[in-house]
Structure 1
Amino acid sequence: MAWKTAILTASDKGSRGEREDTSAQVIRELVEEELGGEIIEVRIVPDEQDEIIAALIELTDYFKADLVLTTGGTDLAIRDVTPEATRRVIEREVPGLSEAMRSTVMQKNRAVMLFRGICGIRGRTLIVNLPGTPKGVHENLAAIMDQLPEALLMVTGQYRQ
């Protein structure tokens, strides 16, 4: 199954074209190669809660993505508001995915305890917050990749027991 996947980067510098979005490229590669997903939209917005919220709503409600992977805005800096924006658009949280990312990655990188990303469901879309670095994206997404197909089957109503 080719899961329709959208990528949303929250980055002030990236949105102004001052920084290349290498984390989104890592997401693209992992989704296409490991998940067999199809990238249907890629967005970069500044670290502004209202803009992140608007993009998440559009990617879920208009583009009908099965999976939205965000990168950036998940640390402790004052401008890092992706988890707060995500919490405002999701209907149900999926804490096990976030817990799995942190516990798996923490074995190699203790700094992941400062990662505040959350995961949740809006309608029939799974939203997963990832860190803003290529290494962080790779480590965290790899930690949950094996569970994403089953999770997506459940979220999209295609799961058969």
Structure 2
Amino acid sequence: MRNISDIIEAHLKEIIESNNQNAIEIKRSEVADHFQCVPSQINYVINTRFTVEKGYIVESKRGGGGYIRIIRIQHQDKMQLLNELIKLIEPRVSQQGAIDIIERLLEEELITEREAKLMVSAITRDVLAVQLSLRDELRSRILASMLATLKYKE
């Protein structure tokens, strides 16, 4: 069974996909009313499910007429996307940030489900059992190497 965060995320993504401009403006309180939840739940979903790693830019304006704008980042080609992801993760990336990027690659159909599982298994903290200060840097190097390899997949 899906939780409320999953349902809100799916709803917002559905709106973005149905919008030809890949962007939406929402009022946090209206979305919270729609799902009968607290506005902080909407903040949580936006802050964790609509990140740069996952391919979104979020802008907000506070106040009475405030809104939250969610923009889906579109890339011209596969090479540009991979180059930007490599820049994003260097010189270090957290485990969650790396997983978000792998999920984005899956969404963009640049990798298969099996490849995603292999990539995630190689970058977890259990596998990278080194000092905390080095772990995110090592994870970044491994993931950057995988992304570079994807550029020349065919």
| TM class by smaller structure | 0.3 to 0.5
TM-score by length of 2: 0.33
TM-score by length of 1: 0.32
Structure scoring higher RCO (CA < 8 A, sep ≥ 6) equals 1
Based on CA coordinates, which of the two structures has the bigger radius of gyration? 2
More helix by share: 2
More strand by share: 1
